[in-house]
């Protein structure tokens, strides 16, 4: 999970994004007017996760005008533009996510997160892959074992929604922020067939 500082203007955005990629991207040229996946990967701190790259791009350009944002989208390579369309961002209110949010999609929510401090305060399970040699199996584990878990609220309603990010890094500030992540499945009990949802936070932005 990482804090994003949005670009102040279009020129800064294009200069930063059209960067030539990492040293081994020998076919990618800086300042050529085309923003490639390797270039976006460099500035977003990612290597191959295309879906999360689009989350970064959305937050990083969120303070620009619609016209300037569109010019940046036009500058994306054909491959990256296809990825951008595939993982289109959906902005939802806290009280809309459970009903309107689709699993595995990119979601942005604005609100105030409050950390759930202990296992006794929250009960929820997630499915995680376990790899042994060439065999991959899945197991249900408590979400609080691997994630810092929060409930986020907004000014629009008294509803809350569960968000979480991997343990071991910076925690979310408990003030009004914008969080961006991928919507995933959450079960109240290991053996339940019904499930709820939570947002795995990848990036956040101060407001």
β 90-91/106-115 pair status: parallel
- pLDDT at site 195: 80
Full domain range(s) for residue 65: 2-88
Task: Assess contact for 170 and 1: CB atoms under 8 A.
Answer: yes
Distance CA 167, CA 186 (A): 17
CB count within 10 Å of CB 58 equals: 21
What is the DSSP annotation of 107-162? Answer: EEEEEEEEE--SGGG---EEEEEEEETTEEEEEEEEGGGTEEEEEEEETTEEEEEE
- pLDDT at site 115: 94
Composition of the chain by helix, strand, coil, percent to 5 = 30, 35, 35
* CATH assignment at residue 186: 2.40.50.140
Distance CA 155, CA 150 (A): 17
Domain shared by 48 and 128, yes or no = no
Domain shared by 39 and 51, yes or no = yes
3-state secondary structure of 47: coil
3-state secondary structure of 44: helix
What's the structural domain count of the chain?
2
Domain shared by 77 and 133, yes or no = no
Domain shared by 157 and 182, yes or no = yes
Domain shared by 64 and 163, yes or no = no
Domain shared by 133 and 70, yes or no = no
3-state secondary structure of 80: helix
Domain shared by 130 and 50, yes or no = no
* C-alpha closest to that of 35 among 56, 19, 52: 19
Q: Which helix (H) or strand (E) holds 38?
A: helix 37-44
- pLDDT at site 192: 61
pLDDT per residue of the chain (207 residues) written in tens, 0 to 9: 999 999 999 999 999 999 999 988 988 999 999 999 999 999 999 999 999 999 999 999 999 999 999 999 999 999 999 999 999 999 999 999 999 999 999 999 999 999 997 766 677 888 777 777 887 877 888 898 899 999 999 987 789 999 999 998 889 999 999 999 999 999 877 666 668 999 999 999 999
- pLDDT at site 121: 64
Domain shared by 81 and 102, yes or no = no
- pLDDT at site 120: 64
User: Whole-model pTM above 0.95?
Assistant: no
């Amino acid at each position: 999970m990482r804090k994003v500082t949005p670009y102040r203007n279009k020129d800064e955005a294009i200069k930063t994004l059209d960067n030539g990629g990492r040293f081994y991207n020998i076919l990618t040229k800086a300042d050529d007017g085309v923003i490639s996946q390797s270039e976006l990967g460099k500035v977003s701190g990612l290597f191959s996760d295309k879906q999360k790259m689009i989350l970064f791009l959305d937050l990083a350009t969120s303070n620009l005008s619609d016209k300037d944002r569109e010019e940046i989208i036009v500058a994306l390579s054909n491959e990256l533009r296809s990825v951008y369309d595939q993982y289109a961002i959906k902005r939802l209110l806290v009280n809309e996510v459970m009903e309107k949010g689709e699993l595995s999609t990119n979601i942005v929510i604005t609100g105030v997160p409050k950390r759930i401090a202990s296992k006794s305060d929250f009960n929820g399970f997630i499915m995680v892959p376990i790899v042994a040699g060439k065999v991959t199996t899945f197991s249900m584990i408590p979400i609080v074992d691997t994630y810092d878990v929060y409930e986020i609220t907004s000014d629009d309603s008294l509803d809350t929604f569960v968000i979480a990010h991997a343990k071991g890094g910076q925690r979310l500030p408990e003030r009004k922020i914008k969080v961006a992540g991928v919507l995933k499945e959450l079960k109240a009990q290991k053996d339940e067939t019904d499930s709820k949802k939570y947002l795995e936070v990848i990036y956040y932005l101060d407001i």
